[in-house]
């Protein structure tokens, strides 16, 4: 029995280890469902300050480009491949590609 998950390649770079061997580093992330945000309604608030600040906070949260409603990106794995291992891959993943990661004992 093993573990399998889908991940997206978000980074790919050529690396050289301390012994001078070349390789490829792949950074993989996984997108998961995020819990819904907690929304505070100014109507239910008794504080005048909260009623004034909440519309501004809501606008700022909506304008942030890195926040996706309902999704969160998690760093899952950094994979280091030797030059030989990289060359043996039939299909070499590029940034943005979705890959399936399988980890098992055999």
Tens digits of per-residue pLDDT, 39-96?
A: 555 555 567 777 777 778 777 766 766 655 667 788 999 999 999 999 999 999 999 9
Place of tokens 């490829």: 24
Order of all β-strands in the sheet with 3-16: 71-82, 22-33, 3-16, 98-103
The answer to whether residues 31 and 7 touch, using CB atoms and an 8 Å cutoff, is no
Ranges of each domain in the chain: 1-34+70-106, 36-68
Beta strands 71-82 and 98-103 are: unpaired
Helices and strands counted in the chain (H then E): 2, 4
Dihedral angle at the C-alpha atoms of 7, 10, 14, 16, nearest 10 degrees? -70
CATH of 1-34+70-106 given 3.10.20, 2.60.40, 2.40.50, 1.10.3470: 2.40.50
Give residues with Cβ within 8 angstroms of 102, minimum separation 6: 2, 3, 4
Is it the case that residue 37 has pLDDT exceeding 60? no
pLDDT score at 67 = 58
């Amino acid at each position: 029995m093993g573990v399998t998950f889908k991940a997206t390649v978000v980074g790919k770079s050529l690396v050289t280890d301390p012994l001078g061997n070349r390789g490829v580093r792949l950074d993989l992330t996984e997108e998961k469902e995020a819990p819904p945000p907690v929304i505070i309604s100014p109507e239910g608030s008794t504080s005048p300050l909260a009623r004034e600040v909440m519309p501004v906070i809501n606008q700022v949260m909506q304008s942030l480009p890195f926040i996706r409603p309902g999704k969160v990106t998690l760093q899952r794995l950094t994979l280091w491949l030797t030059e030989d291992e990289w060359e043996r891959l039939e299909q070499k993943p590029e940034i943005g590609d979705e890959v399936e990661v399988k980890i098992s004992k055999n």
